[in-house]
Structure 1
Amino acid sequence: MKKTVLFLTLALGIGVNAHAQNEKYTKAMEGAIATVKFMTPTPELQQTAGQFERIANAETAEWLPAYWAAYTYVLLSFKETDAAKKDALLDKAAAFYQNVAQKQPDNDETMVLAAQLASARLAVDPENRWQQYVPEFEAALGKAKAKNAENPRIYTLQGQSLFYTPEQYGGGKTVACPLLKQAAEKFATFKPASTIHPSWGVETNQYLLSQCGK
């Protein structure tokens, strides 16, 4: 009887401790994710990237800290003006992406992240990089759509890419805006798996849609 009581006490203690640790992890992630916006000042966004990196190092079994670290470094690359510094930030993003891809190879969000990374690499030097990164971008989104066609970020990235592509190369508002509208419809019903799962893209999509009628 005493052994049973001791076992139950230990089990309860372990369970409470695990719950507390999980809650601490979730709260830390939620706080960091709240700052991951393009309009966030660069120094603060850099701090957030570092925070995700620390969480990823502490929670090695989790994939979401690495995912958000990669995404944050992609955002930072878009805010940078120097090409070499852009690529350095994207090298960091790529390292975290590899971590995610190892843990979640069949997840559509991993495939969308790959497309986002390819898009960012292309943006550094479109004239000289389109032959490599346009096919990578399209292939990653194609895989994501085959896996989960309800993911709104697929259509946001497609629409954004076409929005900024000149009409003579197959882009422009005429082809981009229907995709952005489709993304908005899917965002309206999309529910992340948790408060710390991928949820980005709404604000970008809304901004681009607001330009469609101009």
Structure 2
Amino acid sequence: MKKVLFIIAIFIATGISAQTKYQTGMQKAFGLWQQNKLTEASQLFERISKAEPDNWLPAYYAATVEIIGSFGMKDEAALTAKLTKAQEFVDVAKAISANNPEIIITQAFLNLGYIAFDGQKYGMTLGGKNSMLYAKALEISPENPRVILANAEWNMGSAKFFGKSTKPYCAEIERAIELGKKEKIEQEFYPKFQVKRAEEVLKQCQG
């Protein structure tokens, strides 16, 4: 009996240790991200992803960091390499968690990286795809504040590009903010709604 209890205790301790290692790794990766050490953060998220093959979050964050790092790049080859790497992470996350609205809007965010670099070259092909991605994410999760905000921002960008008013999208941003304030997230490290950032977007909309 003592031997059985000892074995159970080892399994429990191992589980706690593994969980703590995951938590520590994720916290360290977020810390690197906050320090703007994007390459190091992405690499750490990637390592965690490989160690947690059933968890979509590390690959999701690795993709997000790579996409953020692509904005402002001047060299197309370097941009393509970075976004190709991001796509690999998105595909990993997608394989683990299909039809996940958080991953769907990250795919749209990735496409935006190309469009922001060269709208004439990539806008025609990826613009329509993004509209479909946002529509799909909204269909799956119509009350998700991150999806609502991302869709509104996309529509605002399109409106500005065509010289139209962004006013029609202000109400959606306000709705996203209200939903974001009420949202209760139970899963550790799940994407959180950034209220302050949304409020900045709202100011641009009203402007």
How does the TM-score come out when normalised to structure 1? 0.86
Map of 1:64 onto structure 2:
57
Q: For residues 89 and 200 of structure 1, what CA distance do their matches in structure 2 show?
A: 25
Map of 2:20 onto structure 1:
23
Q: What one-letter code is carried by the residue in structure 2 that aligns with 1:27? A: T
Mapped contact 2:170–2:206 kept (Cα < 8 A): no
Q: For residues 7 and 43 of structure 2, what CA distance do their matches in structure 1 show?
A: 36
* Shift in CA distance, 142/166, structure 1 to aligned 2, threshold 3 Å: closer
| Aligned sequence identity (%) | 24
Deviations 1:31-61 (A, max 9, x none): 3235546xx53xx122111111121122223
Mapped contact 1:180–1:205 kept (Cα < 8 A): yes
Mapped contact 2:142–2:148 kept (Cα < 8 A): no
Mapped contact 2:32–2:40 kept (Cα < 8 A): no
Q: For residues 31 and 164 of structure 2, what CA distance do their matches in structure 1 show?
A: 32
Query: In structure 2, which of residues 189, 192, 201 is the aligned counterpart of residue 196 of structure 1?
Result: 189
Mapped contact 1:71–1:93 kept (Cα < 8 A): yes
2:13 equivalent to 1:33: no
Q: What one-letter code is carried by the residue in structure 2 that aligns with 1:32? A: A
Q: For residues 148 and 204 of structure 1, what CA distance do their matches in structure 2 show?
A: 21
How does the TM-score come out when normalised to structure 2? 0.88
Deviations 1:159-211 (A, max 9, x none): 22233334573754213322221221121112333231122544432221132
Q: What one-letter code is carried by the residue in structure 2 that aligns with 1:21? A: A
Query: In structure 1, which of residues 150, 171, 177 is the aligned counterpart of residue 170 of structure 2?
Result: 177
Q: Secondary structure at the match of 1:165?
A: helix
Instruction: Tell me by how many angstroms 1:147 deviates.
Output: 1.3
Query: In structure 1, which of residues 65, 68, 77 is the aligned counterpart of residue 70 of structure 2?
Result: 77
Instruction: Tell me by how many angstroms 1:103 deviates.
Output: 0.6
2:131 equivalent to 1:138: yes
Q: For residues 55 and 12 of structure 1, what CA distance do their matches in structure 2 show?
A: 25
Instruction: Tell me by how many angstroms 1:74 deviates.
Output: 0.8
How many residues end up aligned between the 2 structures?
207
Mapped contact 1:165–1:172 kept (Cα < 8 A): no
Map of 2:95 onto structure 1:
102
User: Any runs of at least 4 consecutive aligned residues in structure 1 with deviations exceeding 3 A, and if so which?
Assistant: 34-37, 200-204
Deviates further, 201-210 or 110-119: 201-210
Mapped contact 1:162–1:175 kept (Cα < 8 A): no
C-alpha RMSD of matched pairs (Å): 2.2
Query: In structure 2, which of residues 42, 47, 50 is the aligned counterpart of residue 54 of structure 1?
Result: 47
Q: For residues 40 and 9 of structure 2, what CA distance do their matches in structure 1 show?
A: 37
Structure 1: 5+ residue stretches without partners:
none
Q: Secondary structure at the match of 2:158?
A: coil
Q: Secondary structure at the match of 1:164?
A: helix
Map of 1:121 onto structure 2:
114
* Shift in CA distance, 162/172, structure 1 to aligned 2, threshold 3 Å: farther
Q: What one-letter code is carried by the residue in structure 1 that aligns with 2:47? A: R
* Shift in CA distance, 68/213, structure 1 to aligned 2, threshold 3 Å: same
2:144 equivalent to 1:151: yes
2:15 equivalent to 1:7: no
* Shift in CA distance, 213/146, structure 1 to aligned 2, threshold 3 Å: closer
Q: For residues 33 and 46 of structure 1, what CA distance do their matches in structure 2 show?
A: 12
* Shift in CA distance, 167/13, structure 1 to aligned 2, threshold 3 Å: closer
Q: What one-letter code is carried by the residue in structure 1 that aligns with 2:66? A: Y
